[in-house]
Chains A and B, each alone.
Chain A
């Protein structure tokens, strides 16, 4: 049973460029959340997708956008990259059914470096 997969593993971009990160959820999961983790900090919630719609959003600017596809996979797009966007980007998947708490399963992350 494949877990959460993310691509690419590492990425180097220049300020002002745009980047797209990809995530495939764990088999059977339909909800995808994205987190940003700066060096030495805990992950910070960016947004969550369920049924191809953004359901929750953290305190991130509109430069951060996303998409969820019918097969539940997801993309995170960041426009006009800043040096401060350098971080580990984590994708987490879960099951979005009614009732009760749902643990989230994380992928290994994509390390983005902006120069």
Chain B
């Protein structure tokens, strides 16, 4: 699975959009970009994933560049409850069973008043 690079930490004011970048310059054509987050003392939570196109769900939007070498997770209106470590993961979608998730150290997002 391709490696990812994320900033160690970021701050965001409550109510503002949080834009979390991720570089995955060695991504292969059959690899998806996944985002998970981990709130303190909880298990990771799935947020969103995409292959080529931009994606949006009730939690966030995922913007993937045309060359697929980087992506940005957008939390449109961050709240204090969005304070967490955000992991960008790239992996192949295997048939039959889901492939393992390879976590890095992620980005620690601190949302402040």
Contact = CB atoms under 8 A, between A and B. Distances in A.
Interface in A56-108: 56, 58, 90, 92, 94-108
Secondary structure type dominating chain A contacts: loop
A48 B98 CA distance: 9
Which of under 10, 10 to 19, 20 to 34, or 35 or more describes the interface residues of B? 20 to 34
B98 A45 contact: no
Interface stretch (B10-18, B20-28, B75-83, B100-108): B100-108
Contact of B49 (A94, A96, A98, A103): A103
Given A4-B43, A42-B87, A90-B43, A104 B98 contact: yes
A45 B97 contact: no
A44 interface: yes
B79 to A, nearest CB: 21
A33 B100 contact: yes
Contact of B98 (A35, A43, A94, A106): A94
A106 to B, nearest CB: 3
A48 B42 contact: no
A55 interface: yes
Given A100-B93, A101-B32, A101-B93, A106 B44 contact: yes
A55 B91 CA distance: 16
A41 B105 contact: yes
B99 interface: yes
Interface of B: 32, 34, 42-46, 49, 85, 87, 91, 93, 95-106
30 contacts: A4-B43, A33-B100, A35-B101, A35-B103, A41-B105, A42-B104, A42-B105, A43-B44, A44-B103, A45-B102, A48-B100, A56-B100, A90-B43, A90-B44, A92-B43, A92-B101, A94-B97, A96-B96, A96-B97, A99-B93, A100-B93, A101-B32, A101-B91, A102-B97, A103-B34, A103-B46, A104-B46, A106-B45, A108-B42, A109-B43
